[in-house]
Structure 1
Amino acid sequence: MSKLLLVDVDCGVDDAQALMMALAVPDVKILGITCVHGNTSLDNICKNVLRVLKVCNRLEIPVYRGLARPLLQEPLTPSDFHGKDGLGDAPDPDAPGLELLQKEGAVEAMIRIAKENEGQVCLVATAPLTNLASAVKLDPSFPKRLKGLYIMGGNMEARGNSTVCGEFNFAADPEAAYIVLNEYLCPTYIATWEFTCYHNLSWEFCSEWMNQDTDKARFMKKIFAHSIKHSEGNESENEMLAISGFISCDSYAMAAALDHSFVTQACKCAVSVELSGNLTRGMMVVDDTGMLKKEHKVTIMRKCDLEKFKKLMMAALE
């Protein structure tokens, strides 16, 4: 029986990598891809998803336009890591057009798909959580219909990558992250920013990965070149963050959804999101002491099987 996925993205390069990973697994069926603000404009994000589907020959998968801005705050300016267009500023003149998007909105589609596949769908969220927060407000029963929720976002050691203490996806819409972590009571798995940093891959592997003789690999090499150059130009920042190699942040959450044995060590605890702090707004709060007195616990990934991860990554570009 196929694993059924819904994927919510702000399609930058690592979202593309995560999507391509899932598309390469034979027993996985992606029921829909929903787009939300984040790494670039919403139009660019939608176009980027269609570009990924085209190179993977999977344009039959429906793509839905979601929310273009956070619930309350002004949009957070993304870094230049993914380029201005989200895919390394490497345009394709033959890219699919936005007319291929579904007419139905992303939030409505998420709710409908979960109803049609009660208890069978895993939702993988690799973007700001605005669509997810809106879905639970529109239909409070939505999370109960999910088999599981896999999030790339937040942090466990108060280390930020876009604000002092905030990971980008949570800092880009703290209210949405707060709603999701407090109102989604389905099994929830989180790949935090620090977790991805601790499990980086070597640049030698990255070169081997991208130099496969396939159209997918050539596409990846083209869209990832900008990010690689950006990383080389920020060596002191990378050293400070303990990053010594290649990180495909969103792919870690996807790998956990595809293969539970990928995660080899995790902790279960209550979490929330700080909304008021001047320096800590958007930071994920990890309650190791039980002081939040929350019954619902999420699974925070601590360690993973990097050999399984490498195999999934290699297969994505074969």
Structure 2
Amino acid sequence: MTPRRIIIDTDPGQDDAVAMLLALASPEDLEILGVTVVAGNVPLSLTEKNARRICELASRPEILVYAGCARPMVRTRLVTAEHVHGKTGLDGPDLPEPSMALRQGHAVDFLVDTLMAAEDASITLCMLGPLTNLGMALVKEPGIVPKIREIVLMGGGWAEGGNITPAAEFNIYVDPHAAHNVFECGAPVTMMPLDVTHKAMSTRVRVERFRALGSPVGLAVAAMLDFSERFDEAKYGTDGGPLHDPCVIAWLLRPELFQGKRVAVEIETASERTLGMTVVDWWGVTGKPANALVINQIDSDGFYELLTERLARL
């Protein structure tokens, strides 16, 4: 089969890095047209550098990496997560400074130009961080919507509540106005919320399987998770922590590992108390039309088998 054409939008982040590596290890399934980078887990000056570090770790320096938005669309303050990811965003392994060049031009322009050049709805957008780049692209050129095959995003939550506020998940909270644009744009959306990613736990046994690969990638992934998951272990009292963003890529590779339902999703943009909340109408009580496939179940063993098998290729 022809590989699915994708653009990865990301704010690395250890779990973003693992998601990127999963995609980079799967060229027969995924053709990566480019990586667009946004501020989120750490500021843009670090996320764009981290994205290039991961491409080089995977021996894929030819990947196009574009820097995008350094702040949210409307909110004046960028919320970051160094308390989880460390001061670099990729604390844990000792990765060298990247030598591959950051591409000239803005990530929003790359998104618009690449989508508008597509002949049909052939490009999948893999959204691993705040949705600012895509939210801005939709404002700049609404004509990109018919060119989008699917938007698969990690963000939101409902039964699990939030992880940055009681009501909001981090990616949506950082830029709720961009998230509103995305969910209302009319393109097919698949949402990987906390309700499913909290079932993809990187237990000690699973992390040791990555380390046992013995490769630079396997050792780096184990070191990343050793660092980042310590926060979740302390917070939730669990063995390991949720591995959020790789669920986006795993959905494209092995959709049979997941289950969910098409429902209406709205983003809270007005209330300070619940800003960034994903209002998921799971039982259809509003009668509003469904605008997203919301995933809430995962075969976690199958997910980690896929991760381990693919990472062993790099």
Match of 2:89 among 75, 79, 86: 86
Query: Equivalent of 2:180, from 175, 178, 181?
Result: 178
**Residue matched to 1:112:** 113
Q: Distance in 2 between matches of 1:158 and 1:311?
A: 25
Segment of structure 1 superposing worse, 10-19 or 187-196 = 187-196
Aligned counterpart, 2:300: 306
Which of residues 252, 255, 266 in structure 1 aligns to 2:247? 252
Equivalent position amino acid for 2:66 in 1: Y
Q: 2:269 aligns with which of 268, 275, 285?
A: 275
In the alignment, the residues of structure 1 paired with residue 143 and residue 265 of structure 2 have an alpha-carbon distance, to the nearest angstrom, of 21
Query: Could you tell me which of 238, 251, 262 is aligned with 2:236?
Result: 238
For the 8 Å contact 1:214–1:317, the answer to whether it is kept is no
Aligned to 2:47: 45
1:76 maps to which residue? 79
2: CA distance, partners of 1:296 / 1:142 = 21
TM-score, with structure 1 as normaliser: 0.91
- Contact 2:14/2:85 (8 A) holds in 1: yes
Q: Given residue 85 of structure 2, which amino acid in structure 1 is its aligned partner?
A: H
- Matched residue, 1:136: 138
Is the contact made by 2:262 and 2:291 (CA closer than 8 Å) also made in structure 1? yes
Q: Which amino acid aligns with 2:206?
A: F
Could you tell me how far apart the structure 2 residues matched to 1:227 and 1:275 are? 29
Q: CA deviation at 1:43?
A: 1.2
The structure-2 alpha-carbon separation of the partners of 1:126 and 1:256, relative to structure 1 and needing over 3 Å to count, comes to: same
* Unaligned ranges ≥5, structure 1: none
Moved more, 63-72 or 283-292: 283-292
Partners of 1:158 and 1:266 lie apart in 2 by 15
Closer/same/farther in 2, CA of residues 141 and 291 from structure 1, 3 Å limit? farther
Q: For this pair of structures, how many residues does the alignment match?
A: 308
Calculate the TM-score normalised by the size of structure 2. 0.92
AA at the equivalent of 1:50: R
How big is each residue's C-alpha offset from its partner over 1:88-112, in whole Å with a ceiling of 9 and x where there is no partner? 16553x4214x70111210111122
Q: What letter matches 2:236 in structure 1?
A: N
Supply the distance in 1 between the matched residues of 2:206 and 2:78 (Cα, whole angstroms): 35
What secondary structure is seen at the aligned counterpart in 2 of 1:122?
Answer: strand
Q: Which runs of 4 or more aligned residues in structure 1 lie more than 6 Å from their structure 2 counterparts after TM superposition?
A: none
Matched, 1:63 2:65: yes
Flag the 1:158–1:261 CA change in 2: closer, same or farther, 3 A: closer
Is 1:193 the counterpart of 2:188? The answer is no
Q: How well do the aligned residues superpose, as a CA RMSD in angstroms?
A: 1.9
Which stretch shows the higher mean deviation, 105-114 or 145-154?
Answer: 105-114
Report the Cα distance in structure 2 between the residues aligned to 1:116 and 1:292, rounded to whole angstroms.
38
Deviation at 1:295, TM superposition (A): 3.2
Query: Given the alignment, which residue of 142, 152, 157 partners 1:155?
Result: 157
Corresponding residue for 1:103?
104
C-alpha spacing 1:272/1:228, structure 2 compared with 1 (3 Å): closer
Pair 294,52 (structure 1): closer, same or farther in 2 beyond 3 Å: same
Q: Which runs of 5+ in 2 are unaligned?
A: none
Find the residue that maps to 1:141 and give its secondary structure.
helix
Contact preservation (8 Å) 1:192, 1:301? yes
Q: Residue 295 of structure 2: SS of its match in structure 1?
A: strand
What secondary structure is seen at the aligned counterpart in 1 of 2:22?
helix
Cα separation, 2, equivalents of 1:110 and 1:77: 24
Give 1:245 deviation, angstroms: 3.1
Moved more, 193-202 or 133-142: 193-202
